[in-house]
A and B are shown apart, each in its own frame.
Chain A
Amino acid sequence: QQPVQSPQAVILREGEDAVINCSSSKALYSVHWYRQKHGEAPVFLMILLKGGEQKGHDKISASFNEKKQQSSLYLTASQLSYSGTYFCGTERNNAGNMLTFGGGTRLMVKP
């Protein structure tokens, strides 16, 4: 029931773009995206809600396909500070408010 993230890891050069995908087998109310640097707490990036509402970072974009229960996070013109592990957390329609997290996508941005 854990959402599946892809790719598992990606290496970019500064300025390149990346897309991280998150796919669930359950009907979703929302998808939350976090970035976690080594040894630190996850930092909130964005929430995408059923119905199209979005909340979060103005330099990061994402999409949420409710029918397919899929979300994608778009990182454009990547910066060194984008390095870290990206997690999607899904909030299901008919469950509590807890998030079920994917296994993470490790992103490394090189100069």
Chain B
Amino acid sequence: GAGVSQSPSNKVTEKGKDVELRCDPISGHTALYWYRQRLGQGLEFLIYFQGNSAPDKSGLPSDRFSAERTGESVSTLTIQRTQQEDSAVYLCASSLWRSGGARGETQYFGPGTRLLVL
């Protein structure tokens, strides 16, 4: 597709359940980022993948959060034992990764997954 796609667009779950959120980056973008946006607030960095290097997980809020990426394509963000405070919009972005890295590259955002934990 032409842009970043995410699924599902909306997810309602019960406290304690696990959820998986999916991101398909723009073709050819080897850098992929996950952000969280709580209602009325700014975006909070969670994790990013840069080519074949180990992901930067420094933004993950707890060990209930994890993410994987298959090669240079799809990424899945998993939240285990969801809590009500996990309710937010989860946004994925991708960017080019040139020889010098992804510095200064535009990050293109997907439409997000709206997660509601009851």
Which residues of A are at the interface with B, using a C-beta cutoff of 8 A? 2, 29-30, 32, 34, 40-44, 47, 49, 53, 55, 87, 89, 91, 96-104
B25 interface residue (CB < 8 Å to A):
no
B65 interface residue (CB < 8 Å to A):
no
**Which residues does chain B contribute within 8 Å of A40, judged by CB atoms?**
111
Task: Bits for B90-101, please: 1 = Cβ < 8 Å to A, else 0.
Answer: 010001000001
Bound CA–CA A84/B111 (angstroms)? 16
Q: A97-B101, A97-B102, A98-B48 are in contact. Are A44 and B107 (CB under 8 A)?
A: yes
Query: Closest approach, in angstroms, between the C-beta of A103 and any C-beta of chain B?
Result: 5
A55 touches B43 (CB 8 A): no
**Which residues does chain B contribute within 8 Å of A43, judged by CB atoms?**
109
The contact sample of 14 A-B pairs, CB cut-off 8 A, is A32-B106, A32-B107, A41-B110, A42-B109, A47-B104, A49-B104, A55-B104, A87-B42, A89-B107, A97-B31, A98-B56, A101-B43, A101-B45, A104-B41
With A32-B106, A34-B109 given, can you name 16 additional A-B contacts, CB distance below 8 Å? A29-B103, A40-B111, A41-B112, A42-B109, A44-B106, A44-B107, A53-B104, A97-B31, A97-B95, A97-B102, A98-B56, A98-B59, A102-B42, A103-B41, A103-B42, A104-B41
B45 touches A99 (CB 8 A): yes
Q: A41-B91, A42-B43, A89-B43 are in contact. Are A99 and B56 (CB under 8 A)?
A: no
B86 interface residue (CB < 8 Å to A):
no
